[in-house]
Structure formats: C-alpha cells, structure tokens
C-alpha cells in the first residue's frame, strides 16, 4: 500500500495490542465517570476548568512552594502579571472548592493569610506529573507549532 503524505506529515504505525489496551483504559475511565450524577459530573467539569486556569495553577504552586500561610500582598508580589482583582477572584474560587484556606485575623488593619489545604496539596501531587511532562516536551511542542505555521509547498493552508 502506498501513502502520499504532505511534506512535514508523519506516518505513525500503531499495533492492535496497543489500541486494545488503550480502548480498555478509556472504557474504564468512562465507567468511572458513569457513577457520577449529572450534578456531580457538572461540578467535576467546573473544578477541572477552574484548576486548569493559568492563574489558579500558579497560585497553588506558589502556596505549596512557600509551605505555610502567606499574606495576600506577598502572594500578589510573587505572581507576576496578575491583577489584585483576578488574584482575589481566584483565591475565592480556590477557597470555595476547598483547595485553599483563608484565615482572617481580627486586627486593625485586618490581616488575611492563605495556605493550601490537604485537598489542595493532593491536587498538586496529581498535577505535577502532567506539568513535568509538558515541561519535558516543550521542544516538541515548539517544533510542532513551527511546522503548523510553515505554509505547505502545495499551496494548501
């Protein structure tokens, strides 16, 4: 059999055994999600969307790196480019989801500190392997994007 591929396109061979194992894993993941009610499924998708946000990951990472309570102003200084408004919104959402603990000290002026909850630390343990994988493959992502930007010689977009 002959394949005519556009320049820059890779032909990847897969084997039936790999496909069967992958399909079984995917089915197992679907089965796991099928036990959720519609409301739980919606919440799970909302949480995934929320924690996958650029600022939320950065906030969680910095809170973990500091290892203890931190004041809003110090956290704001550490996260380059985030506005006070966005930081406040993200912290509220992370607190609402049980990932961040907010402690208000009744002083004048009031003092507020933030820290990761055990649930927040557990989430980071799950995310770090993905984060590490992305960082290890940045060169491949750059190459793929460069190939995608390069116009084909056949005049196709």
Q: Which residue has the tokens 């519609």?
A: 38
Q: Residues 104-112: contacts with CB within 8 Å, 24+ apart?
A: 111/71, 112/71, 112/72
19 occurs within a structural domain: no
pLDDT digits (tens, 9 = 90+) for 30-61: 566 677 788 888 888 888 888 888 899 899 99
- How many domains does the chain divide into? 1
31 occurs within a structural domain: no
43 occurs within a structural domain: yes
Comparing 62 with 156, the larger pLDDT belongs to 62
Comparing 25 with 46, the larger pLDDT belongs to 46
Question: Torsions phi, psi of 32, nearest 5?
Answer: -60, -45
pLDDT band at 152 (very low <50, low <70, confident <90, very high): low
Helix orientation angle between 84-96 and 54-66, rounded to the nearest 10 degrees: 80
Confidence (pLDDT) at 7: 60
Percent of the chain residues past pLDDT 90, beyond the cut = 43
126 occurs within a structural domain: yes
N-to-C CA span, the chain = 27
Confidence (pLDDT) at 36: 78
Residue 88 pLDDT more than 90? yes
Three-state secondary structure call for residue 50: helix
Helix orientation angle between 138-149 and 118-136, rounded to the nearest 10 degrees: 60
Q: 75: domain range? A: 38-149
Supply the CATH number for residue 47's domain: 1.10.10.10
Residue 1 pLDDT more than 50? no
121 occurs within a structural domain: yes
CA distance 49 to 63: 20
60 occurs within a structural domain: yes
pLDDT, averaged across the chain: 81
CA angle 47, 42, 86 (to 5 degrees): 35
10 occurs within a structural domain: no
108 occurs within a structural domain: yes
Answer whether 0.85 is exceeded by the pTM. Answer: no
Q: Which residue has the tokens 């380059």?
A: 80
């Amino acid at each position: 059999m002959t394949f005519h591929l556009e320049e820059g396109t890779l032909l990847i061979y897969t084997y039936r055994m790999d496909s069967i194992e992958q399909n079984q894993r995917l089915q197992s993941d679907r089965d796991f999600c099928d036990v959720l009610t519609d409301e739980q499924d919606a919440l799970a998708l909302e949480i995934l969307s929320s924690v996958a946000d650029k600022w939320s990951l950065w906030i969680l990472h910095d809170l973990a790196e500091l290892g203890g309570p931190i004041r809003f102003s110090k956290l704001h200084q550490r996260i380059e480019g985030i506005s006070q408004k966005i930081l406040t919104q993200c912290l509220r959402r992370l607190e609402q989801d049980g990932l961040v603990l907010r402690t208000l000290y009744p002083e004048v002026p009031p003092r507020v500190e933030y820290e990761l909850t055990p649930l927040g630390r557990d989430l980071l343990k799950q995310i770090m392997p993905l984060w590490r994988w992305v960082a290890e493959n940045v060169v491949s992502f750059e190459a793929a994007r460069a190939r995608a930007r390069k116009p084909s010689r056949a005049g196709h977009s």
